[in-house]
Amino acid sequence: MPRAKLKRFMENKDLPNVLQDGDETFNNLKGNWNKLHFKNELPLTVEMGCGKGEYTIGLARVFKDRNFIGVDIKGDRLWTGSRQAIDEKLYHVAFLRTLIHNIDGFFAPNEVETIWVTFPDPRPKDRDIKRRLTSPRFLEMYKTILKPEGQVFFKTDSTGLFEYTLEVLKERTDIIDLEYTFDLYTSEYLKDHFEIRTNFEQKYLDLGVPIKYLKFRFKS
């Protein structure tokens, strides 16, 4: 492992806004985020697969009246978001280091108000369908941890993943208020993203790749 990455892994153990295995509260977070970590009663927004936390940080700059949690398994990436949140005094931001398929072990039913899924790995091979973050098994997890009629937002550069996601959502009977566009930056939904662009997103915009976007709620 490169020395710089190892150094970040070690520093994560002492960062107050990174929650990972070995921390005192790690195994008790479910249902207790506001009590054990944030020490407030603000609603929770969770970003699945947050990477370096660019979107989580961006949302936290806009909304001071919410708590934000970025979830990812890559410790070196979370270090970047953690340091930025600390530098900007965004104390309503936290990062959870875990696999997304373990997410229902860290959030209780009805604990989360909104979920963002931003530019996940499209997993184009058929054998990886179950690993797509918008596959039925993940949607069921999101539905469980969301409050009644909680909202999910999804952004991707991948046309294949976007079409797959729409197909999955339209086959379900518990989806309401589904809205979508195949080109966010020429659509009426542009205001929804609060002018937040990750480096990954900007890379594809510079290449002329349209950004796909959708949002929906689960029927209560």
Q: What pLDDT does 5 receive?
A: 59
Q: Which of 198, 197, 180 is nearest to 189 (CA)?
A: 180
Residue 201's pLDDT is: 94
Instruction: Specify the pLDDT at position 1.
Output: 54
Q: pTM for this structure? A: 0.94
Contacts 24+ apart (CB under 8 A), 71-77: 71/46, 71/47, 71/95, 71/96, 71/98, 71/100, 71/103, 72/96, 72/97, 73/97, 73/98, 73/99, 73/100, 75/8, 75/9, 75/12, 75/20, 76/5, 76/8, 76/9, 77/50, 77/51, 77/52, 77/53
Q: Which residues are catalytic?
A: 121
The pLDDT of residue 149 is: 86
- The residues facing 114 across adjacent strands are 45, 151
Extract the residue ranges of the chain whose pLDDT is less than 50: none
CB neighbours of 29 closer than 8 A, spacing ≥ 6?
19, 36, 37, 96, 106, 107
